[in-house]
Amino acid sequence: MRITDLLNPQSVRLGAAAADKAAAIDTLIALQEKGGHLADKAAYREAILAREGQGSTAIEAGIAVPHAKSEAVKTPGLAAMTLAEGVDYGAADKQPSDLFFMIAAPLDGNLHLEILSRLMVLLMDPGFAAKLRGAKTPEAFLAAIDEAEAVEEASMVLSLCQGYNIGYPIFFDTEKVAGDTGRADNISKAERTACAVAFCETIRNAGYQAGVYSYASWFYNQLNLANLGKYKIWIAQYRDTLSFNSRYDIWQYSSKGSVPGIPKAVDMNIGY
């Protein structure tokens, strides 16, 4: 699960003021409530304080990630906050904390550990943390996370490519999922393009060709094609004649092809 699947703009507050650790916690809990994640705000606060009683959730470098599993959680969620002036959160390095993520998780499962692990990996990059601290709007804050996760996903893809002789490009697939919804459906064209570029640049820097896959209307309306000039373009359009007013390298012309040895229909493509 992506971090941005659990964090929405309503649960992000930037440049806030907090007198101390308790005030920071209360602000984050209010953001969780605003995001619709809590069934019982008071009970969730008790769970957060109980976890803090076991040891501070500050992770040094001005970052803290308070978290708790509780029956008071209605839906899994995140809240995030930056402070204009950091507060003493009991960090081992004695530095005040000014960048916070709060995790709300239900009692069943270990989703909080999965999210905590993903956050730890991303937040250990000083450049990423600096982007979050410098964000001027919740949307910019979320866009920074989207880009970081695109790089992380590209790195995962690269790990899976080890040991294979790959001659074709590695593609970033961006499109609307039929019959489903996601936060990425509503991000801006610029944010979506930035994610594609972040993914492709990570692939290129590892020595592979990189590209972007989608269909015509998505390329036209949801991506800035001018920013994708360095990458291969794979266009899906199921018809006899391609109608696409831009450069392309591969045309996926059918989803009803057949290949000996494969019992189901397959996509058919022409590479140029």
Query: Which residues lie below 8 Å from residue 233, measured CB to CB, with a gap of 6+?
Result: 211, 212, 219, 246, 247, 248, 249, 250
What distances in angstroms separate CA 272 from CA 43, 48, 49, 169, 238, one per listed residue? Answer: 61, 57, 60, 13, 17
d(CA 88, CA 98): 9
Q: Would you say 3 and 78 are in contact if contact means Cβ atoms under 8 Å apart?
A: yes
**37 given a catalytic annotation:** no
Residues belonging to the chain: 272
Rama region for 109: left / alpha / beta (φ>0; ψ in -120 to 50; rest): left
d(CA 59, CA 62): 8
* Strand ordering across the sheet containing 210-215: 170-173, 210-215, 232-236, 250-257, 266-271
For residue 138, the 8-state DSSP code is H
Strand segments (E) across 221-265: 232-236, 250-257
d(CA 150, CA 194): 9
Residue of 45, 67, 69, 192 marked catalytic:
67
Q: Would you say 211 and 233 are in contact if contact means Cβ atoms under 8 Å apart?
A: yes
Catalytic sites, residue numbers: 67
